A and B are shown apart, each in its own frame.
Chain A
Amino acid sequence: AQKVTQAQTEISVVEKEDVTLDCVYETRDTTYYLFWYKQPPSGELVFLIRRNSFDEQNEISGRYSWNFQKSTSSFNFTITASQVVDSAVYFCALSEGGTGANNLFFGTGTRLTVIP
């Protein structure tokens, strides 16, 4: 079974619009970590955030914010006032276990295109 589901394959928004990327995960572990990565055309993965299963507080970092809800097994990512430089593929990932250093299960990714 898919451990991480990103239902949105592609999203296009006009610059300055807000956009939310959805992520739903599945695990039987009580301790786990969730991640978001950005992958620009160059291919390198850019780390955005790591959140452990015991910390349900939402987080904001500049134009980025994350909403973690264990009740719905979701870890959604919102970009406020999108910019062309935000265009990339975004991956949500899950690491089971207590350290966050175990292998990651990646979702299929959401390709975001920000139109100027």
Chain B
Amino acid sequence: GAVVSQHPSRVICKSGTSVKIECRSLDFQATTMFWYRQFPKQSLMLMATSNEGSKATYEQGVEKDKFLINHASLTLSTLTVTSAHPEDSSFYICSASSVLYEQYFGPGTRLTVT
């Protein structure tokens, strides 16, 4: 199946700093990328949907100014958590899809904000 990578896999940052997470589709062009968040022992919740070259669509309750999403190319989307706080500590998972490819998930990024 198609491969989606995420970088970094783990990141620890101090409160108030910003963190960027990359999501790449390695062997296909992803017209759409999704960002999910999973708090400990909870389910995955969709944060936003991004289509290449256009602004991301955020789910209700997700602050777009705090979670900046950029989908600049067909193989790369980035999620930047700005001014991170401990409550942003979570597991962030991206997925990528295209007309030809169903949704494939990245391995996830575990963010810890101290």
Minimal beta-carbon separation of B29 from chain A (angstroms): 13
A95 and B49 CA atoms in complex are apart in Å by 14
Whether the pair A106, B49 counts as a contact (CB closer than 8 A) is no
Per-residue interface assignment for chain A, residues 34 to 49, with 1 indicating a CB less than 8 Å from any chain B CB and 0 otherwise: 0001000011110100
Contact status of A101 and B99, CB under 8 A, knowing A44-B108, A47-B1? yes
How many residue pairs bridge A and B at CB < 8 Å? 54
Contact status of A103 and B49, CB under 8 A, knowing A108-B42, A108-B43? yes
Whether the pair B110, A101 counts as a contact (CB closer than 8 A) is no
B109 to A, closest residue via Cβ: A43
Per-residue interface assignment for chain B, residues 80 to 114, with 1 indicating a CB less than 8 Å from any chain A CB and 0 otherwise: 00000000000101010111011111011010000
A107 and B42 CA atoms in complex are apart in Å by 9
A35 to B, closest residue via Cβ: B103
B10 to A, closest residue via Cβ: A43
Q: Which 3 A-B pairs have the closest CB atoms?
A: A101-B97, A44-B107, A100-B102
Q: Which residues of A contact B (CB under 8 A)?
A: 33, 37, 42-45, 47, 50, 91, 95, 99-109
28 A–B pairs (Cβ distance < 8 Å), ordered by A? A33-B102, A42-B107, A43-B38, A43-B91, A43-B93, A43-B108, A44-B105, A44-B107, A45-B44, A45-B93, A45-B108, A47-B104, A91-B43, A99-B97, A99-B99, A101-B32, A101-B102, A102-B97, A102-B103, A103-B46, A103-B49, A103-B103, A104-B34, A104-B44, A104-B95, A104-B103, A105-B46, A106-B43
